[in-house]
Amino acid sequence: MSAQMAVALLALLVAAFALVALVAVYARVRALEAAREIGLSGYAAVVGRAAPPSVRPGPGQRAGFVAVLDADCALCHAVWDALADITDTGVRVVALVDRSDAFAAHPGAELISDPAARAELFEGYAPTVLQLDAAGTVVQRSFVDADADLPALFRVGSLA
């Protein structure tokens, strides 16, 4: 076998492997799209469900914001600082965190390190901000990214 023939066979083998990998990725993407259309994901949807009692708005409060944050996430710290700027006393502000010692304390906002409540509201991405109604039902959810306008996001009824 000549060197040219060996190189050609090797190129054919690499091309066949790439084709198989491409078909596998395509099949996985199609399966994920089909699952999304019928509402399946690795996590249960939280919108419409009651939040855990530890994060629900208290008596006399008309709404609540709950942020699911991760101590190792820089954006999570920015979300926490922006949430702490909410001055409306009719809105309860809570952050469910994995390690409360990693976040600075802010007056008017609560840090809660409750693994069970965090697991119940975690949808696979942090930071996630949930808006609750007065009864404690999750009415809106937002996965926050670096381009988000945080002050605009934290107005009651503003999550999208």
- State yes or no: pLDDT of 56 exceeds 80: yes
pLDDT at 159: 46
- Can you tell me the distance from the alpha carbon of 61 to that of 76, in angstroms, rounded to the nearest whole number? 25
Q: Residue 114's pLDDT band (boundaries 50, 70, 90)?
A: very high
Single-letter amino acid code for the residue at 34? A
- Where does 48-137 show beta strands of DSSP type E? 63-69, 91-97, 110-112, 128-133
Q: Residue 106's pLDDT band (boundaries 50, 70, 90)?
A: confident
pLDDT for 71-97, tens place per residue? 998 999 999 988 888 888 889 999 999
**CATH dotted code for 53-153:** 3.40.30.10
pLDDT for 118-142, tens place per residue? 989 988 888 999 999 999 999 988 8
Comparison of pLDDT for 31 and 80, the residue scoring more: 80
pTM of the predicted structure, to 2 decimals: 0.70
Give burial (CB, 10 Å; 0-12/13-18/19+) of 146: exposed
Question: For all residues of the chain together, what is the average pLDDT?
Answer: 86
Upper half-sphere CA count for residue 141 (Cβ side, 13 Å): 20
CA distance to 29, 32, 55, 132, per residue, from 42 (Å) = 15, 10, 23, 23
- Can you tell me the distance from the alpha carbon of 85 to that of 93, in angstroms, rounded to the nearest whole number? 10
Tokens of 105: 């304390």
CA distance to 2, 77, 129, per residue, from 105 (Å) = 72, 11, 18
Single-letter amino acid code for the residue at 56? R
